[in-house]
Amino acid sequence: MTYGRPSDRDFGPRRPDPPPEIGATDRLLAYEQIRQLAARYALAMDSRDLDALAHLFVEDFESWSGERGRDALRRDFGAALRRGLGGRVGFTQIGTHVINLLAPDLACGTLYCSAALGDRDNWIRQDIAYEDVYERRDGEWLFAERRHQLFYGFEPAERPLAQDEARWPERPLGLGTLPYAWPSWRRFEDEQGQTA
């Protein structure tokens, strides 16, 4: 089912009355599935799992290249991450998440997020609010629209990846094992090396 784009006030902190056709249990399930969608996005970005990332979006999503579909979205995410948008390593922390159900298969929300990303020589930190539109298709909540709204980005003085190995639990400070141990991250790095 196709809906019009939610209005700006639908993204705000005021809680709209839930659609009467959505019962309490269905509302709770929708909230939880949408929260999981946001968490899966963060993990897919950080682990560079482009297939998992693309499947979090509706199949006819229009990517920023203007093309539609998950294949285009996968290519666009891959190209952006390869040219350094995400740096070599990224850590995405999601926080406050306000979700407003507008119809049985339509919701919108505002999600706060802190992202730290870079490589050994460069590191940036961003605090972001995503303004999302969610649609439920075939029983699954997916991103139908995602707007990255930046509060600020800055470059901290410390370079967290320019440390010796931590070797947890013997030493708590230093470079850890993630994301390097994730198979999807290693595949992405291998693909990047082949295309360089």
pLDDT along the chain (196 residues), means of 10: 68 84 94 98 95 97 92 92 73 96 94 92 93 96 95 92 88 90 91 66
Q: What is the pLDDT of residue 4?
A: 63
Residue 195: predicted pLDDT:
57
User: Strand, coil or helix: what is 20?
Assistant: coil
Q: Which position has the token pair 């926080």?
A: 95
Residue type at 42 in one-letter notation: A
Provide the pLDDT for residue 1: 46
Cis geometry, peptide bond prior to residue 179 (ω within 30 degrees of 0)? yes
Contact in structure between 127 and 113 (CB atoms under 8 Å): yes
pTM over cut 0.75: yes
DSSP codes of every residue in 147-187: EEEEEEEE--S--TTSS-B--TTT--SSB-STTTT-HHHHH
CATH no. for 11-190: 3.10.450.50
